Structure 1
Amino acid sequence: MTDRRAHLDSRAVVLLLACCLLWGLQQIVAKATLPSMPPMAQAAVRSLVAAAAVSAWSAWRGIPLFQRDGTGAAGLLAGLLFAGEFLCIYVGLGYTTASRLVVLLYLSPFVVAAGMPFISRAERLAPLQVGGLVLGFGAVVVAFSEGWGVAGQGQRWVGDLLAVLAAVLWGATTLAIRATRLASASAEKTLFYQLAVSAIALGVASPLAGEAWPARWGAALWGSLFFQSIVVAFASYLVWFWLVRHYPATRLASFTFLTPLFGLLFGWLLLGETVTPRLVAALAGVATGIWLVNRRTVPRRD
């Protein structure tokens, strides 16, 4: 049995903010690394290194990863969904801007919100909470819409379509974890399934797609892969899957609207980009949306 909580407490909020901050850097780092390593190869190495880290961590903590507990089929499904998500993200970054991709990627909370009532009646959203989700997403769109007036060219629509598909796969992964035996598995085992399966799937897909792996690995490439593999795919995802097991999935998903806004803030801090009034308004909208989604409501009688 898992110790589930009906609402987000202060610990959950702090962990979510840390995860969103790291994820805000993820797409920027991945796109910057594309000239040094092609997308599927980059995603495969990321998953492989992170899977090894999870295995070592689990061995040190005495957490069994390979015992038979009936989670094999669910783990394979979650792993394939995870692989598809990051295949779409990394390939999509080669066609569209990171800003557009990250906005479309955060359609994922709507997938979770739409699917969770079929899994847990307790996680139905009240109309005001649905309004909070809509407000949060709208605020993210507003934040990034300033750059959308620049004329795109080539096949940017391909990247946009891949971003939407990645969002659907991300939401489907969260739902698969909650709806199957993985809901009672350890966070380490849940994450290991996804990383190991995706490492194999993406590792096979990369040469089949004709990708050329780099002959020399410089310090920048090593640093990028360390951040993507250890900091994001290992540490932050381990925290995320632990949160999914202990807190309402729809309310966790609402917090991820902060991720693209953190990306803009990092652009200001690291690249000297201007923080406009529209961004400030978007931050206020996201904060309000999160508050609405996480409001305590009186249970309805059926």
Structure 2
Amino acid sequence: MSTRKTLDAQASGLMVLFCLCLGMQQVALKATGGDIAPVLQIALRSGAGALLVGLVMWWQRERLSFADGNWRPGLLVGLLFAAEYFFLGEALRFTSASHAVIFLYTSPIFSALILHFRVSAERMGAVQWSGILLAFAGIALAFLAQESGDEDVVSDVLLGDVLALLGGLCWGITTVVIRSSSLSEISPRQTLLYQLVAGFVLLLIGAAVSNQLAFNPTPLALASLGFQSVIVSFGAFMIWFWLLRHYVASQVGVLSFMTPLFGVALGGWLLDEPITPGFLFGSLLVIAGLLLVSGQGWFRQRFLARRPAVDEA
């Protein structure tokens, strides 16, 4: 029997903190890009995060499980994780943090589409399909709503937006692999460890190949690296896994829409990034679409829970 609780004030507060941390990561990477390349910073934070996760597993005597060939999908999600963050790191060289967070968090759209055609139990209904169309309309509008000006600058922004969208695609595929493989049966900490170790090794190689190993250890750069390593790669995901273990997953997941909202707001506030009306409207369409796709089960559950009381009245 499931002992998971319904959403309460504690879970909602932790989700706000979780989404705030994830929304802040793009801003921190962008703000310190002149001192340490985003790809290198993500590589280093992944290594530090892997060390911290490994220490927690050792402390709790949690052994790595390689039964049933778990290492194969583990290697695949590690490659996808590295690709996702390589695309994000490169995107932040060309586009704004607010743009990057919106396009990166389109991942549920891609995972829902892939699962619809791969898993019969994951078939989407009319509401979810309307969410897909709404989100893609928002993506198109956000792409088209570029400020007029220097053609090279506009081209760079578009390139960055496409790279962030590719990061979202990799994240969506990662979700599909985890849900449809033996990784769904093992500890989520082990899955995270696969991703962080692969991210550290492959992104460090990517930074070396692309000549992005320079590091100017300014106080801001060191603070960002510490935040990324301890808070994002370790603390935030530990909060996420704790929430999934103790609360109904669909109710927790539907609140993740706050992350792109925080990302856009923090980018505009802390980095003075221009947010055009067209991009803002497109972003809201994307977020609304994500809510329809990811939150359908939660909305249906809430509706059915109230329905008997309405009928009796």
| Structure 1 spans left out of the alignment, 5+ residues | none
Give the structure-2-normalised TM-score. Answer: 0.77
1:68 and 2:72 are equivalent in the alignment: no
Q: 2:109, 2:290 within 8 Å by CA — same for their partners in 1?
A: no
Give the match for residue 165 of structure 2.
164
- 1:270–1:31: structure 2 CA closer, same or farther, 3 Å change rule? closer
- Between Structure 1 and Structure 2, which shows a larger proportion of helix residues? 2
Look up the equivalent residue of 2:172 and give its one-letter code: G
Look up the equivalent residue of 2:219 and give its one-letter code: A
Deviation at 1:81? Answer: 0.2
Query: What secondary structure, in the 3-state scheme, does the structure 1 residue paired with 2:299 have?
Result: coil
- 1:273–1:9: structure 2 CA closer, same or farther, 3 Å change rule? same
- 1:17–1:135: structure 2 CA closer, same or farther, 3 Å change rule? farther
Deviation at 1:180? Answer: 1.0
Deviation at 1:94? Answer: 0.5
Give the match for residue 300 of structure 2.
296
| Structure 2 spans left out of the alignment, 5+ residues | 305-313
Q: 2:14, 2:239 within 8 Å by CA — same for their partners in 1?
A: yes
Aligned runs of 1:1-302 on 2, under 5 Å?
A: 9-10=7-8, 13-64=12-63, 66-69=64-67, 70-118=69-117, 120-132=119-131, 134-135=133-134, 148-151=146-149, 153-154=152-153, 155-156=155-156, 157-214=158-215, 216-240=216-240, 252=253, 255-267=255-267, 270=270, 286=287, 290=291, 293=296, 294-296=298-300
Equivalent pairs counted in the alignment come to 293
- 1:77–1:104: structure 2 CA closer, same or farther, 3 Å change rule? same
Q: Deviations along 1:196-255, whole A, 9 cap, x unmatched?
A: 0111111222222222322x5232111101111111111223344566788667983x54
Query: What secondary structure, in the 3-state scheme, does the structure 1 residue paired with 2:93 have?
Result: coil
- Root mean square deviation, CA, Å: 3.8
Distance 2:288 2:162 in 1: 28
Q: Deviations along 1:31-83, whole A, 9 cap, x unmatched?
A: 1111001232212101101111111122222222x343231111110111000
Distance 1:42 1:84 in 2: 15
Deviation at 1:135? Answer: 4.7
Q: Which moved more, 1:280-289 or 1:129-138?
A: 280-289
Give the structure-1-normalised TM-score. Answer: 0.79
Q: Deviations along 1:162-182, whole A, 9 cap, x unmatched?
A: 112111101011111111111
Distance 1:124 1:243 in 2: 26
Identical-pair percentage: 32
- 1:76–1:277: structure 2 CA closer, same or farther, 3 Å change rule? closer
Q: 2:111, 2:175 within 8 Å by CA — same for their partners in 1?
A: yes
Deviation at 1:28? Answer: 0.8
